[in-house]
Structure formats: structure tokens, C-alpha cells
Structure 1
Amino acid sequence: MYRCSVDISDKVKIENGDVVFSWSGTLLVKIWTGGDAGLNQHLFKVTSNKFPKWYYYLWTKFYMNKFIGIAKDKATTMGHIKRQHLNEAKVLIPSINMLEKFSKVLGPTIDMVTEKGIENLELSNLRDSLLPKLLSGEIELTEDEGV
């Protein structure tokens, strides 16, 4: 019996660059950089057919303190928010011209955040694989190698 499978619905699949919102327990919104994965019942993939990623990511970030406050007020064991709270969140919608101007700056910025997050994960994995080998003496560094 398998506990995990890559054979899951496309509706719950996420990949690098997707915006993920945790609505229960630890409330947060992140740009996912952990590779291909699947959502669980406490996570939403935030997306839009009308607006660019930076727009809905930043508006979700804007409301996080309010959402966290709502969850704390209702917490018995694990605080959460409901769809009603999301529906009550109001946002300003800029003109198409302003949206395009902001997209020229914020689109590449969000892309860079994603790229750096992936790079950080790769570097952490490299560190975690090399450090035990260095400490055990399996790998030795010499002065010729700049140490």
C-alpha cells in the first residue's frame, strides 16, 4: 500500500512559482519553491485568470494580519479562517494601464523571488549532503582547495 503517489488530480498539484495559502493552523501565503507537490486540505493554490500573480499574491499578503487575528479569535485547538472571510476581503482594482505598468516591475520581481527560493533549496540540500561527509572525514579539504 502506498501512502503517497504522483497520480493525483491536477486541481491539487502545485509547482514552483505557484502561490500557496495556508488557511488553517499556521496561516501564511508563500510562493512555492519546493518542486512538484500536492496540496492537502489546509492549503489553497491561489490563482487568477484575470490578474497577474504579483497582484493576488500581494493582496493576500496584505490581508494576512487580519486573517491571523480572525483565526486567533476562533482558535480552540487550531485556528483557521473560512471562505466567508476571504469573500469579505476587498481589494482595489487599478486601471489596465496601471496594472501593466506595475506588472513590468513586479512581474520580474516575483519571478526573481521564485528563482532565489529554488536556489536556496538547492543550496540547503547540497549543504545537508556535504556537511556530514566533511564532519565524518569522508571528504577532506586541503589548503590547495582554498581552505
Structure 2
Amino acid sequence: MNIRPAFSDDCPALAAIDAVGNPSPWSVKQFASALAQSTDKLWVCETDSVIGGFIVWQDILDESELHLIATAPEYRRQGIAAALLEHWFRHAQTAGITRLLLEVRAGNAAAQSLYFKYGFTAVGIRKHYYSLPEGGHEDAVLMEKPC
């Protein structure tokens, strides 16, 4: 398993992974735009030179907010998401970050369980935050973790 910065050539693979599990996936253009931002950090996790997952976060002053984390279905349950989160945590320690933030779909119990395991606490709800492809909306659970 190798974690490295994402490159523009990775954007199609990142968009493809995101499209599998995210009801509101980012486009190739959105990934490319994030790569161009100095505050956005995009990292990929490779297994045998194949991207198995990725993480996107943004640092703002002394806080860091997770925007996306995803694992390709064929690489799930192999520790990729955990490795990417731990990479984010190490970055936060060296960058002077005091608080980590994220939001997660209320119905995504697996992700919430992972975040709780790593010390995040639920601090609020954003009602009807996520649009659903079939119509309607889903709440977001706001979570944070002090560094």
C-alpha cells in the first residue's frame, strides 16, 4: 500500500471511484479544480500501482475539513480508508491543525462507525443537506475531532 499526492492524470480514476459510492459524485473537472487549489489536499492510496482509494481535505487556518474519502469496491475492507485517515491525522499534527471537521450522510453507518473509532464526535445535523438521485434529501451528521 502506497499513499502519494494525487496528480492531474489521476482525476479520471478518482471520479470513477467516487461515482460508484457517492450519490453526488465529483466530476473529473471538480477533482482537477481541487488539485489547483493551494488549500486543498488530494492523496491517493495505491495497491500494486492501482488507485484503490483517495482522500480530499482542505486546510483553513488551524482547521482541516474532510471533503471526500472513498475506496473502490474491490479494495474495501483492506484498510485503505483507515490508512488515508491516518495520513490526514499525521498531516494535521505537522501543520498546526487544532481541529478536524467532516460531514457524513446520516444513512452511512459504516463511515460513521469508522469516524467514531478514530475519535470523532457528532456535534450537529444539517437537515436535508444531501440531494438524492431519486429525489428527496438526506441529512448530514457534522463531526469533529480535536488534534
TM-score of Structure 1 vs Structure 2, range by shorter chain: under 0.3
Higher helix share: 1
TM-score by length of 2: 0.27
Q: Highest CA radius of gyration, 1 or 2?
A: 1
Which one has more relative contact order, counting CA pairs under 8 Å at least 6 apart? 1
